[in-house]
Structure formats: structure tokens, C-alpha cells
Chains A and B, each alone.
Chain A
Amino acid sequence: MSRSGAAVSVHRLSFFYTNNGRRVEALREVSFSVPGGGIYAVIGPSGCGKSTLLYILAGLLAPSAGEVLVNGEPPLPGRRATSLILQDYGLLPWKTVWDNVVLGLAIRRLPAGEVRAAGEKVLKEMGLWELRKRYPAELSGGQRQRVAIARALATEPDLLLMDEPFSSLDALTREAFQDILRNIVQGGSLTVLLVTHNIEEAAYLGRRIIVFTPHPGCVYKIFENPQAGLPGYRKTAGFFRLCTELRGALEHGRDQI
């Protein structure tokens, strides 16, 4: 495939919402950009508007001010090539693994043959083929996470947005998933923007790491991390140094308010 991952640029993005008649500022003048292909991380404490940012990038919310561009265009709701994985996976308990995974294709009214072929391909790639008739309640946390990823990939997106993707998994499973994600983006046809509060996760995966401060969310600092995702990177001195720097940035950003 010659397709390449989507480039994302965010320019002076602000977002307000009203809560009980009070105007709340969730994001203030956020600017950053990521080129097409690869994994990028947004890190910040809870309440820094990270999820809001993803919803705006997915076209589910409109910016109050500023501009967001995906491949040079403002995101529309249901932009076909954008997939979003929510924090609790957003699986539908009344649908089997198969029906959950092909949901995006079914909603797009693809011909049945195409749906079957694409579903089969992605289920086999994610090692879910044997589980296709089960319901989410019959799966472990890791298997549910796999289903969520399979559903997101089934539509062959060029942009994958992930909200705290691995936060409910145990440490080792989480690391296994970080490697799965790293393998998925190899080849450059997919851009992953993940939002996390986990320092190690951001440091291991994010080629560029955008640090947010809370209330309202704004960009505190941006780190470049060219080593991201290299095998064994987790055990290098450079990795630990970056983690320490990220921690410092997060603490400093928090102290500013």
C-alpha cells in the first residue's frame, strides 16, 4: 500500500463548554503538529482536556476557536479514515466479537462480501478468529482491547486516535499491547495519536510527546523522541532519562496553576 498516515495539525485550538450555566475552558490555544505515519503521544494529568482534544480531532466536537486539520482538511464527523478507540473500548455488549469488529463496515453499507473479507482478515491478524462468536462479557480485558483495535483497524484508517488505550491492563499485558501497536504502524500507512497519563507508555511509544498542563489544557512542552519503539528501548539509559524529564515537565506544569 502506498497510502500514508494522516498528518495532523492543531493551531491555537480553544474549547469551551457550559456546565450548569458556567462557562468552562477545557483547552486554551493548543498548537502542535504531527507528520503522517508513526505514533505520537499526548500526556497530561486528568482534567487537562486530552479526551476533548481527541473528540475534536475525530470530528465529534467542533472547536470553539482555532483550527484543526487532518491531512489539510477540518475533520468531519465520521471521517471515514479516522478511527477512535475510547477509554473503556466502547464495545457493544449485545454484539458478538465479529459483529463488533465489522460494525464500522456495516454502518458504511459496504457490500456483504467486502465486509466478510475485511472482517476475516483483521480478526485473524489480531488473533481473534477463534473468539468471533463470543460476547464481550466472555472476554478478558486484553481480549476486549484486541477487539477494540480490530474494530478500529477494520475500516483501514489513516488516523487512529486512542484515549488511555491500555490503562486498565496489567503492566505486562500493557507492554505487549504497546509492541502490537508499534507493529501495526510499521510501514507508515497509519498515524496513531494516543492520549495517556502513563509516563513510560508515552516515552516508549511517542515519537513526539506533547505535555499538557491541566485546567485549562494547554501545551507545556514538546519532546522529540526519535528512538521511540526501538526494540529494547525500554531498558536504555536514554529511555529513563526521558521518563525523568517527562515527569519533571508534568510536575512543573502542574505547579504552575
Chain B
Amino acid sequence: MILSAFLIRLASILGVLLVWHLLAVLLRSAALPTPGEAMLAFGQQVPAELWKHFLISAWRVLASVFISLLLGAPLGLWLGAEEKLDRFFAPLIYLLYPLPKIVFLPVVMILLGLGDLSKIFLITLVVFFQILVTTRDAARNVSHAKILAVVSLGAGRLDIYRHVIWPAIIPEIFTALRIGSGTAIAVLFFAESFASSEGLGYYIMDAWTRSAYQEMFAGIIAMGLLGYLLYAGLDALDKKICPWKKL
């Protein structure tokens, strides 16, 4: 079972590499190195300076996702469970949620500088709303029968949150985190590629302007790796925290 799961994963990665390789061979363009060349560059670049950019980007994404979770999940839970509060805040959320927050990058950079703070703020701004809205909708849809069941056992307001609403929405929060992580990396790239001197976004854009395509692909591989590690971490946490979900 475990072996076959591993083989399937391996086959999927090999498949991607194969398509990439064929494409590179067919196009014969300097802009698209073969996976072998890219891997080689990756191997050379990681010890040189790529690791530094990787860690900086990883830190920015992790911090943003964590802050978004810390702010978005409790607030979403609260809004979802308290109808009156939600009625007050819903128009505000619907107004702000669809706005492309990236347009605020110049303002954010002027107010918070060019360093980590402005990047983390911008990513948090995007991911926060995704987690907030998902959590709120999940909390709204918690089955009334389950709440009645624990109320009949003598549960007070806090017990309902603790035993029913909170555990019911944890899986939804993980879904939101998965979607949010993808968005976070996309926003990160944008924020780092602009007036920046650190991070994978900068690294990729810098390699591009120097026409160093193999280095550029080393950066792209690093970014893919960052996403993969994030998802793998979330999956492992999900399995640990929600063992009932896999049944």
C-alpha cells in the first residue's frame, strides 16, 4: 500500500519531467532549459545564494499564512455563529474580498517600506479574506441537530463552540489554508519582483533580466518546492488533527 502510493507519486513527478524535457528538446530555445540543465543549475545555485532567497521567501509566506489564520479563523467563526454580527459585517467583507489587494502594493511600500513587513502585510491582506470567508461559511453551515444534541446534554455557549462548531470547521480551515497558500506564493512573487533585493521573486526576475535562464529555472524549482513543502506540511497536520476525516 505505502509502496504503491510512493510509486504513483514518483510516476507523476517523472511524467512532469518527461513532458518538460520533450518540450525543451523540441523548442531548442535558450529560455527553456531541459530539466537536467535546470536541476544542475539548481544544485549549483542552492549552496551559492539560492538557499538564502528560499528561506526569506519561506519565512514571508509562513508568517503571512500564520497571521491570516490567527486573525481570520476566530473572526470567521464568530461571524458565522452570530447572525447579527454577520449582518453588520457582511457588506464590508463583500466589498473588500473581491478587490485585488495587489493594487495596494505601492501604498503598502510607501507606508511600510521595502522590506519584509510590506510583503507580509500584502500577502496577509489577501489570504486573511480567504480564510475569513471560508471559516464564516463553514461555521454558518454547522448542523443544527448536532448543536441541539449537545445543548440537550447541558452545553452552554462555550461548550457549543468547543465541542461542535470549532471541530466542525477545522477541516474547512485546512481547505482554506491550502487555497490560501497557493495564493500566498503568487502574491509573494509579485511583491518580491518589484523594487526588491531579496527573495525568490527577486531571484527569478534578476536572472531573467540577465538572461540567465538556467538560474531562472533554478529559482522556479525552488518556488515549486516551497509550495510542495507547504502543502505536504498542511496535509500532515490535517491528518494529525482530523483523524476522523479519512474514514
CB distance from A151 to the nearest CB of B (A): 8
Which chain A residues lie closer than 8 Å to B154 at the CB level? 77-78, 80, 104, 107-108
- Number of A residues whose C-beta is below 8 Å from B? 28
Within 8 A of B (CB), among A59-84: 60, 77-78, 80, 82-84
A103 lies within 8 A of B167 (CB): no
B149 lies within 8 A of A94 (CB): no
A83 lies within 8 A of B152 (CB): yes
- Number of B residues whose C-beta is below 8 Å from A? 21
Please measure, in the bound complex, the distance between the C-alpha atom of A93 and the C-alpha atom of B149, giving whole angstroms: 13
B146 lies within 8 A of A78 (CB): no
Q: Which of B63-71, B87-95, B239-247 has 4 or more CB atoms under 8 Å from chain A?
A: B239-247
Q: Is the interface of B mostly helix, strand, loop or mixed?
A: helix
Q: Check: B205 CB closer than 8 A to any chain A CB.
A: no
A107 lies within 8 A of B155 (CB): yes
Pick the contact of A107: B145, B150, B167, B247 (CB < 8 A).
Answer: B150
Count of A-B contacts judged by CB separation below 8 Å = 68
B152 lies within 8 A of A155 (CB): no
The interface bits of chain A over 88-112 (1 if a CB of B lies within 8 angstroms of the residue's CB, else 0) are 1011111100000001100110000
Q: Check: B52 CB closer than 8 A to any chain A CB.
A: no
Given contacts A135-B243, A135-B247, whether A60 and B167 have CB atoms under 8 Å apart is no
B148 lies within 8 A of A104 (CB): no
Please measure, in the bound complex, the distance between the C-alpha atom of A55 and the C-alpha atom of B152, giving whole angstroms: 9
Please measure, in the bound complex, the distance between the C-alpha atom of A92 and the C-alpha atom of B164, giving whole angstroms: 7
B152 lies within 8 A of A78 (CB): yes
Query: Could you show 21 A-B contacts with beta carbons less than 8 Å apart?
Result: A58-B152, A78-B153, A78-B154, A83-B152, A83-B153, A84-B152, A86-B145, A86-B152, A87-B145, A88-B145, A90-B145, A90-B149, A95-B163, A103-B153, A107-B153, A107-B155, A107-B163, A135-B243, A135-B247, A151-B153, A155-B153
Name B residues whose Cβ lies closer than 8 Å to a Cβ of A: 145-146, 148-156, 159, 163-164, 167-168, 170, 242-244, 247
Kindly list 8 other residue pairs between chains A and B, CB separation below 8 angstroms, not including A84-B148, A86-B152: A78-B152, A82-B152, A92-B167, A94-B167, A95-B163, A103-B150, A107-B154, A107-B159
Name A residues whose Cβ lies closer than 8 Å to a Cβ of B: 55, 58, 60, 77-78, 80, 82-84, 86-88, 90-95, 103-104, 107-108, 135-138, 151, 155
Q: Shortest 4 CB-CB distances between A and B: which pairs? A: A90-B149, A78-B154, A84-B152, A137-B247
